[in-house]
Amino acid sequence: MKKVITYGTFDLLHWGHVHLLERAKSLGDYLIVAISTDEFNRIKHKEAYHSYEHRKYILEAIKYVDEVIPETNWEQKKTDVEKYGIDTFVMGDDWKGQFDFLKDQCEVIYLPRTEGISTSQIKNDLNITEDSKN
């Protein structure tokens, strides 16, 4: 069985996310999605609109996703590849080159982002700010 892993926040899930997950799944037989925990997002000075548990719940319902795991720190990618027997590591191409250090453990693929949609765009269009959530 060929295993694929990808990472992200996956907040305000949209068709671009689903398209990325579909393409990632097409590279193997089993797709693991590691999503940033709320605590890790705070370390990154990033706050998701939806909680980790709600984002996990949504991702688990997507037919391309076989397993959802928490991402708690930057360093865990190397250990996750080993722990889960990963064959292919997938990220969006805006991260190109950032994870090449994993190439000695698995194949690393950077997929193009879906044109015309992004979480940042949605937040901007809806005028969602950190203050507006309180």
**Residues annotated as catalytic (active site), given as ranges:** 44, 46
Spatial strand order in the sheet of 107-111: 67-71, 30-36, 3-8, 88-92, 107-111
Within 1-134, strands assigned E span 3-8, 30-36, 67-71, 88-92, 107-111
Distance between CA atoms of residues 71 and 69, nearest Å: 7
